[in-house]
Structure 1
Amino acid sequence: MHDDDLPITDKLVRTLLRRDAPALADRPLQRLDVAGSSNVLYRLGDDLAVRLPRQPGGSASIKAEARWSRWLAPRISVAVPEVMVVGEPDAEFPERWAVVSWIEGETPAVPLPSGPTTTALAVELGEVARQLRSLPVPSDAAADPALASYRAGRLRDVRDEINDWLARCREVPGLELDLAAAARYWASTADLPEPDVAPTWVHADLLAENLLVRGPAAADRTLAGVLDLGGLAVGRPAVGLVGAWELFGPADREVFRRTVDVGDDEWQVARAWAFAIAVMTFPYYWRTMPGRCRHRLVAARAVLDEARSALL
């Protein structure tokens, strides 16, 4: 998936488990296709999973998740994976890795079909985003470099980079996105007001692939879990709202917005972050993660549809 991918095999994972978690080493082990771009994921027995960074430098997010998920878990209304074991780097594998609790559920459809269940999910996800931004930020969290993310910064700091990604999007075969409208939209973000705000907690990757839903039937789904707390950051909170454009139609997006209680200025900034994340995805993951690209295309189109009146 990446030019610097670390080699991760079933044999390696068994070796690491025998060294750092011998009581778990003989459990059934299955590599999962649903692993993301940052970590390879294995299911370990019925109730655990193993997360291993794909690239050099991935220890930082493992360490941050281990440290801060314990602090966060009792303070929000949805389950998050509990870190049970953290393995240290060695000659076999140069990064930290973790054994975490398994949360039952499945990732939501993108986009979600309109209806009462989707509206309920918009409220639940909005409540999680609202809770995160209302939590106190301990001084050691504010000073933790592992919680510093460009996504929790200002749009102006990534404007030139996104222009470069937009140019690369023209080389993506079969990308069905109005790139002329996309360029006009991104140019319009230069004038977006970004007032100073106190740093807050934010999940900088609160998108469908990091959510779990479950229920007795498709028409009765509830939010079961939020994954990948390696995506936690401290900073500007707008990026924590980007899932609204990937998951929801206009009516449920507004429900989500009202639940979080977001003003016009921040909503426009959040919309721009949803677009920026999508644009970065297409050139990089078009061949390796087509499912992710389909999701981000939904988000990018939703952004342009919502902003279209300002672009004409």
Structure 2
Amino acid sequence: MSTGQTRPGPYPVDDDLVRRLVAGQFPQWAGETVERFPSGGTVNAVYRLGDGMAVRLPLTAGGAADVTAEQEWLPRLAPRLPTAVPEVLGTGKPAEGYPWPWSVHRWLPGENPQEGAPGDHVQLAEDLAGFVAAMRSITLPGAPRAHRGGPVASLDAQTRAAIEELRGIPQEGVDCDASTAVWEDALRAPGGGGPPVWLHADLMPGNLLVDGGRLTAVIDFGCMGVGDPACDLFPAWNLLPAGAREVFREALGVDDATWRRGRGRTLSQALIALPYYRRTNPAMARNARRVLRAVLEED
């Protein structure tokens, strides 16, 4: 995603295509029901396949590499993590005019966490910290570089362009001067040059599943790889209220410099997303607004 640019539209995927793909490559599941699962995501289409499976198909060429990476790495990561992650049951190939690899996963129960939903946010913060800590402890060789996992400065041009774009959209009410100050503070924060660690790198609410306020699963590992540990601090501002945010930080033992980089990275993602999605994806735009409020209101 890059502000001010357009991308090719998503590949047209429908129920009939999914049925043909499944029947042609996994005949044992040909009789299962197929139903599109509503999602605010923009990279993949997800379909329920019967009661216990999901079909995940990239909508863009860029998403195809993510599927291949998940097929390779998820089986190796899963036994090392305290939280359920997608289990690949089938690796689909291009067919029926559909041009990219795709996957069949076991269905994971739970719901995406919602802003203001009742629940024990402290326990959720501890669950999230446990997942992030487990990711960081992984030492599998040959890891890919995480998307967004490089130096904070690599995001500078996009972030500043998004701030200037938002200056021209006053109805959004974004404090662009305050956003610039937080971003420049992140650029000044030392660190980020140490040994890279394993990251999910996209811990947005839409990629988390909860039940009764507890984290039950983490999904969509398309951005995973190694990089700056600040990249997995997104939930602090994407999801957690202030008190639980501190629990998350303390449980991970995050130092001041890493926290500043994490805050800046989270701000950058929201700044870029808001003008890009404000007219096309209400869920993504709504989350971006909430993140901007959380970051700019933090002491």
TM-score where L is the length of structure 2:
0.93
Alignment partner, residue 144 of structure 1: none
In 1, Cα distance between equivalents of 2:246 and 2:117: 14
Structure 1 residue 134 displacement after superposition: 1.3
1: CA distance, partners of 2:147 / 2:156: 12
Matches within 5 A, 1:275-286: 275-286=267-278
- Quick check: 2:21–2:95 contact (8 Å CA) kept in 1? no
Query: TM-score, normalised on structure 1?
Result: 0.89
Per-residue displacement from partner, 1:260-284 (whole Å, max 9, x unpaired)?
A: 1111110110111110110111111
Matched, 1:151 2:143: no
1:63 and 2:68 correspond: yes
CA distance in 2, matches of 1:195, 1:103: 34
Q: Return the offset for 1:55.
A: 0.5
- For 2:127, which of 85, 102, 124 is the aligned residue? 124
C-alpha distance after superposition, 1:87-133 (max 9, x if no partner) = 112461111111111111101112555x6x11000000011001111
Are 1:70 and 1:82, in contact at CA under 8 Å, matched by a contact in 2? yes
Cα distance in structure 2, aligned partners of 1:50 and 1:185: 40
> Could you tell me how far apart the structure 2 residues matched to 1:3 and 1:86 are?
25
Which one of 37, 42, 52 corresponds to residue 47 of structure 2?
A: 42
Preserved contact between residue 40 and residue 206 of structure 2 (Cα < 8 Å): no
Unmatched runs of 5 consecutive residues or more in structure 1: 142-146, 216-220, 308-312
Change (3 A) 1:65 1:259: same
- Aligned residue for 1:86, secondary structure, equals strand
Q: Is the 8 A contact 1:152 1:234 kept in 2?
A: yes
In the TM superposition, structure 1's runs of 4+ consecutive aligned residues that sit over 4 Å from their partners are: none
Are the counterparts in 2 of residues 110 and 246 from structure 1 also a CA contact under 8 Å?
A: no
CA distance in 1, matches of 2:180, 2:239: 23
Task: Please point out which of 257, 260, 271 is paired with 1:265.
Answer: 257
Q: Give the whole-Å Cα distance in 1 for the aligned partners of 2:287 and 2:52.
A: 28
Aligned residue among 228, 231, 246 for 1:236: 228
- Partner SS for 1:151: coil
- SS of structure 2 residue aligned to 1:269: helix
Is 2:26 the counterpart of 1:21?
yes
Q: Write the deviation string for residues 153-172 of structure 1: whole angstroms up to 9, x where unpaired.
A: 11111111211111222344
Sequence identity of aligned pairs in percent?
A: 36
**Cα distance change, pair 173–289 in 1 and its aligned pair in 2 (3 A):** farther
Partner amino acid, structure 1, of 2:130: E
Q: How many residues are aligned here? A: 294
Give the secondary-structure state (helix, strand or coil) at the position aligned to 2:172. Answer: coil
Taking the aligned partners of 1:18 and 1:170, their CA distance within structure 2 comes to 51
